[in-house]
Amino acid sequence: MRINQLMLRAAAAHCGRWTAVNQIIRTNSGMAEFREIFSKARHIAIITGAGVSAESGVPTIRGAEGRWRTWKTQDLATPECFSRHPSRVWEFYQYRRELTLNAPPSGAHRAIAECEARLSRQGRSLVVITQNIDELHQRAGSRHVLEVHGNLFQTRCLSCGDVEINHKSPICPSLEGKGSPDPDAPDALIPVKDLPRCDEKGCDGLLRPHVVWFGETLDSQILTKVEKELETCDLCVVVGTSSVVYPAAMFGPQVAARGVPVAEFNTKTTANTPRFKFHFPGRCAETLPAALARHESEII
């Protein structure tokens, strides 16, 4: 994805900080030290990636799981592919929607939601900045969620631009039973007139998933909110992300450049690991609940 101009301006504004980012910060695996910092933090930003949802059974777009039938999912999730093969792309998203609707929030999702609710009663705050489009954070109970890459359960009309929440299963009659990931499954070749259509009076335009596809820029309004959160947080937690997708890969280092502690929870190290104060290896559904559990100093 191209880096949104807003993020380029933000990066320029922080140019002095990026010098500090380039310095290698000692990575610490000490949970006790993290917990002490956590107990004093007033505004926590949690950045989540595909690894959080992978533990719920939702396959990642990238990597070995990043295929649907015989196609790379990165090739399907583009405006060009939707223009050429709208039926195929909608089959793919029908599959993703049904898979996600049946996926339970992971232990990491639940730990984040519980922590947010608990801290809010103490006058503290927690925001989730997620690259995921599956709504599993919201289903777990998180209320303050910024979706950087859009939402699988929203649609946008290509004619009138109307954006609507849509949890229909299937999303339209012609897609019922469609979307099998079997490599031998043929394209359904659904006529465009029978694909999801706009309900706005007098429109009937073709709908597309309201997500950010490869080659598209991110929503500047969402990025403005993200920037504000990154500027004000006093603790940052990066969970289940490979730190290769921009601009989200810049978020953790941007906070670390301010001298704010950043803790990374991931199954393996990433390119950003040396820039963070903490790295906790392992499945985040197992490591995060203990990290975000009630501290003995908290007053309920």
CB environment 193-220: b (16+ within 10 A), e (fewer): eebbbbeeeeeeebbbbbbbbbebebbe
* 58 is known to lie in a ligand binding site: yes
* 57 is known to lie in a ligand binding site: yes
Residue 13 phi/psi, 5-degree rounding, is: -65, -25
* 63 is known to lie in a ligand binding site: yes
d(CA 118, CA 298) in angstroms, rounded, equals: 10
Q: Is residue 167 annotated as a catalytic residue, yes or no?
A: no
* 15 is known to lie in a ligand binding site: no
Query: Three-state DSSP class for 286?
Result: helix
* 115 is known to lie in a ligand binding site: no
* 268 is known to lie in a ligand binding site: yes
* 157 is known to lie in a ligand binding site: yes
* 131 is known to lie in a ligand binding site: yes
Helix 107-120 to helix 284-292 angle (10° resolution) is: 20
d(CA 19, CA 127) in angstroms, rounded, equals: 27
197 DSSP 8-state letter: B
* 94 is known to lie in a ligand binding site: no
Catalytic residue among 149, 210, 279, 295: 149
Do the strands 71-72 and 67-68 form a parallel or antiparallel pair, or are they unpaired?
Answer: antiparallel
Residue 132 phi/psi, 5-degree rounding, is: -85, 150
* 87 is known to lie in a ligand binding site: no
Nearest CA to 279 among 266, 260, 288? 266
Identity of the residue numbered 288: L
* 61 is known to lie in a ligand binding site: yes
* 285 is known to lie in a ligand binding site: no
* 198 is known to lie in a ligand binding site: yes
Contact at 8 Å (CB) between 205 and 198? yes
Find the largest Cα–Cα distance for the chain. 61
Contact at 8 Å (CB) between 129 and 229? yes
* 221 is known to lie in a ligand binding site: no
Residues tagged in the binding site annotation for Zn(2+): 157, 160, 198, 203
Residues tagged in the binding site annotation: 49-68, 93, 96, 131-134, 157, 160, 198, 203, 240-242, 266-268, 284
Q: Catalytic positions, please?
A: 149
Residues tagged in the binding site annotation for NAD(+): 49-68, 131-134, 240-242, 266-268, 284
Residues tagged in the binding site annotation for substrate: 93, 96
